[in-house]
């Protein structure tokens, strides 16, 4: 199952948005156009749906409150709406639709209340809120039915789908120095500070199988690399260790704090691709990686998809010319974000752009130039020092 269409109203950068999505979609746009904010829609639905520590109020609070979520261009329209359609395939008929609207109560407690919550299964509507009891007890509107086990019985598949969404934007320094940094780790560990604990909690047989595949990839991508293994030290703390070619036997072992940033990023990327069947959000996977590796990311994603029993939906945001030069990218999965004075718009490729890809041009040649800031050339002419 995958999200085949996304509609937004007054969500962060997006005053109005409607865009189709594919099994693998590439989200392109200038800086500050809303790529991360578009991804956060799915993280938000995950946070609302997850059975422990989630819910609408927590999801909104973790993002700084509704004032941080509501589009600045909304003006007189205070309601935020997220509307998704799900299908078995990108071109298949709608299987599910979930629509959630919420806004500030605007008086008294200043609570955030559900203004609409609707669920369809095929052509049948299973839920439409507010309903009678909601109007009698407004406190009920502080929660969605999506987050309540006793209320989502007929559409629990939706809650499970949203709750399983995976996002990992591994920041190597957080992993290398996590023990020294200490402090509070963000829920769901989006930046990989607790990545090693994630590996430790994975069943041993599954972990070994994934690391064997990652071993094979690293042997192709990392010079002098021989072997990767998972170990626990004498205090029970998890570690990754890598063996590199060395003239002295066993002298080439290094633990993760000595890995290069690129090696850690690649391990995180490969683990994410192998981890589960849920929607996967990959934000700028090219960071810290050599261009030769970046060029192969679309092909790697495609090969992993073809070899899976259950294909997962993957959304990729990127600025990389090298990544988008790969001619294997399906242009139907390209989403272009275009900022304007009234908020960011999103669109798929037009007929001319699709035709250029059909003639053998790459996404980097056809679409990426349209994300370039108009005045970028002036940066080199700035007088920043006296």
Quote the percentage of the chain above a pLDDT of 90. Answer: 52
Three-class SS of residue 173? helix
pLDDT in tens, 232-249: 888 888 889 888 876 466
Average model confidence (pLDDT) across the chain: 88
pLDDT in tens, 248-303: 666 667 888 888 999 999 999 999 988 888 899 999 999 899 999 999 999 988 88
pLDDT band at 108 (very low <50, low <70, confident <90, very high): low
pLDDT in tens, 173-229: 888 777 767 666 677 778 888 888 889 999 999 999 999 999 999 998 888 888 899
Contact 48, 56 (CB under 8 A): yes
| pLDDT surpassing 80 at residue 380 | no
271 half-sphere exposure, CB direction, 13 A CA radius = 23
pLDDT score, position 114 = 92
* Higher per-residue confidence, 85 vs 139: 85
pLDDT score, position 247 = 47
Strands (E), the chain: 2-11, 14-20, 24-28, 80-87, 94-104, 112-121, 124-129, 166-167, 225-232, 238-244, 253-255, 280-283, 314-317, 334-338, 345-347
């Amino acid at each position: 199952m995958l999200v085949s269409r996304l509609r937004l109203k007054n969500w962060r950068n997006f005053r109005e948005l409607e865009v189709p999505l594919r099994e693998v979609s590439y989200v392109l746009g200038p800086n500050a156009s809303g790529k991360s904010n578009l991804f956060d829609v799915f993280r938000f639905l995950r946070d609302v749906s997850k059975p422990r520590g989630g819910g609408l109020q927590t999801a909104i609070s973790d993002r700084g409150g509704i004032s941080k979520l509501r589009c600045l261009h909304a003006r007189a329209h205070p309601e935020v709406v997220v509307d998704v359609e799900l299908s078995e395939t990108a071109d298949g008929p709608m299987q599910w639709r979930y629509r959630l609207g919420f806004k500030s109560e605007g008086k008294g407690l200043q609570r955030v209340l559900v203004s609409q919550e609707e669920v369809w299964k095929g052509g049948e509507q299973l839920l439409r809120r507010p309903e009678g009891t909601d109007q009698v007890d407004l406190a009920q509107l502080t929660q969605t039915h999506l987050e309540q086990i006793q209320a989502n019985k007929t559409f629990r598949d939706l809650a499970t789908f949203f709750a399983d969404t995976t996002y990992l934007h591994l920041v190597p320094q957080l992993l290398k120095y996590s023990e020294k940094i200490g402090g509070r780790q963000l829920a769901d560990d989006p930046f990989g500070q607790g990545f090693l604990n994630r590996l430790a909690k994975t069943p041993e047989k599954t972990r070994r199988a994934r690391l064997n595949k990652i071993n094979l990839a690293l042997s192709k991508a990392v010079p002098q690399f021989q072997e990767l293994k998972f170990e626990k030290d004498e205090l029970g703390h998890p570690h990754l260790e890598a063996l590199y070619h060395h003239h002295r036997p066993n002298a080439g072992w290094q633990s993760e704090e000595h890995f290069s940033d690129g090696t850690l990023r690649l391990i995180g990327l490969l683990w994410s691709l192998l981890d589960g069947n849920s929607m996967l959000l990959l934000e700028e996977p090219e960071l810290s990686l050599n261009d030769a590796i970046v060029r192969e990311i679309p092909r790697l994603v495609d090969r992993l998809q073809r070899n899976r029993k259950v294909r997962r939906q993957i959304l990729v945001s990127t600025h990389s010319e090298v990544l988008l030069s790969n001619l294997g990218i399906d242009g139907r999965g390209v989403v272009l974000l275009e900022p304007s004075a009234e908020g960011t718009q999103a669109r798929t490729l037009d007929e001319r752009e699709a035709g250029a890809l059909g003639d053998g041009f790459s996404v980097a040649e056809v679409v990426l130039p349209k994300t370039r800031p108009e005045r970028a050339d002036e940066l080199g002419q700035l007088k920043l020092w006296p």
